[in-house]
Amino acid sequence: MSDTRRLQVLRAIVEDYVQTQEPVGSKALVDRHNLEVSPATIRNDMAFLEAEGLIAAPHTSAGRIPTDQGYRLFVDRITEVRPLSRAERRAMDILVEAADDHDAMLEQTVRLLAMLTNQVAVLQHPQQSTARIRHIEVLSMGPLKVLVVVILSSGKVEQRMATLPEPVDDDSLQVLGQRLAGELHNRSASALPLPVDRLLGSVEPSLRSSLAIVAHTVEAVLESGRVDRIIMAGTANLARSDRDLGPSLGPVLEALEEQVVLLRLLTEMEQDRRGLSVRIGHETSHDSLSETSVVAAEYAVGDGGDAAKLGVVGPTRMDYGSTMSAVRAMARYLSRILSEG
């Protein structure tokens, strides 16, 4: 027997099962693929693949389906991640052209990836631990209300309302903003708490209580950026995977909703030479995700942010080639948008 042909048989079984969702038999392989051997030879190859744990019989039918191990070998043998179609590239170009708001752009990215892959798309929200403060402004929004604006090196603009203890005129608010911006410029967003006492000594006594409120508001903004969280889209796609997931669908939805398991998994996943991370079935190391696969890629967050991951979660019976292509391309586009921002 030829190892090359066995791999061709395995690849054909994976491709047919992904497309038809039905166990694949030897006759179907001969009819659909140019393997240039008889059904008897294919049956022998399938017997070898089954003995190796790469395919299995789901019931008494003559057909076979890939196992987690079979999917793993198939994925590892994908040496070239195919380019996106013209329509897919155009959708990403539109995303780049429309990227004018950081958070909205991240949400749009996830929705587009869910649409391209027909899976659940997930994005690990970038933390600000290595981002630096570029600018701070304090704007009047009423007699006691101010808007505190913090601009980071990652391109993210955070805004938060604050209530002052007493009215402060526009000129004094400008002074507060200048003191904060001057003291905190290029400071790491993770360097908390802020030097509030030193800041208070830089303004006249009548402004110190207001400056303290504004400084603590800036701290709250920076602290919120250190919290791990996920942006998600396409959970309705799992409903179409009910036949694949069966009783596992509920636990999968619970794991996605809780986010803790998925955050830990994304953090642990390491990229391979193709710039991708793929966990299949029990490789996810969590029972609730044992019937799923996770495909992810890192994206860069500006010139001062941490790396984070973008990916999809779906049943192990997924189109790995197309999914890997879409995930990697979206991660690269996202890096481009954030670096240009």
Domains of the chain (ranges, CATH numbers)? 3-76 (1.10.10.10), 86-127+228-340 (3.30.450.40), 133-224 (3.30.390.60)
Distances (CA, A) of 212 to 62, 64, 208, 297: 74, 68, 6, 41
Average pLDDT over residues 29-38: 83
Q: Read off the tokens for 332.
A: 């690269």
Per-chain mean pLDDT for the chain:
85
**Looking at the predicted structure, is the pLDDT value of residue 295 above 90?**
yes
CB of 116 closer than 8 Å to CB of 326: yes
**Looking at the predicted structure, is the pLDDT value of residue 202 above 80?**
yes
pLDDT tens for each residue of 111-143: 999 999 999 999 987 766 567 888 999 999 988
Would you report the helix, strand and coil content of the chain in percent, each value rounded to 5? 50, 20, 30
The span from the CA of 86 to the CA of 276, in Å, is: 22
Choice between 65 and 90, residue whose per-residue pLDDT is larger:
65
Question: Residue for token digits 């303290």?
Answer: 212
**Looking at the predicted structure, is the pLDDT value of residue 209 above 70?**
yes
**pLDDT score at 229:** 78
- Where helices occur in 159-291 by DSSP H, the ranges are 170-184, 196-200, 205-224, 242-245, 249-258, 260-268
**Looking at the predicted structure, is the pLDDT value of residue 65 above 90?**
yes
**pLDDT score at 1:** 43
**pLDDT score at 13:** 95
Q: Read off the tokens for 24.
A: 């694949």
DSSP letter at 85 equals P
pLDDT tens for each residue of 146-180: 999 998 876 778 888 999 999 999 988 998 888 88
CB of 288 closer than 8 Å to CB of 305: no
Q: Read off the tokens for 184.
A: 């905190």
**pLDDT score at 100:** 63
Prediction pTM value: 0.73
Q: Burial level of 33, CB count in 10 A (0-12/13-18/19+)?
A: middle
**Looking at the predicted structure, is the pLDDT value of residue 242 above 80?**
no
Task: Give 340's pLDDT tier (boundaries 50, 70, 90).
Answer: low
Distances (CA, A) of 289 to 49, 268, 286: 25, 15, 6
Q: How far apart are the first and last CA of the chain?
A: 56
CB of 158 closer than 8 Å to CB of 152: yes
**pLDDT score at 197:** 84
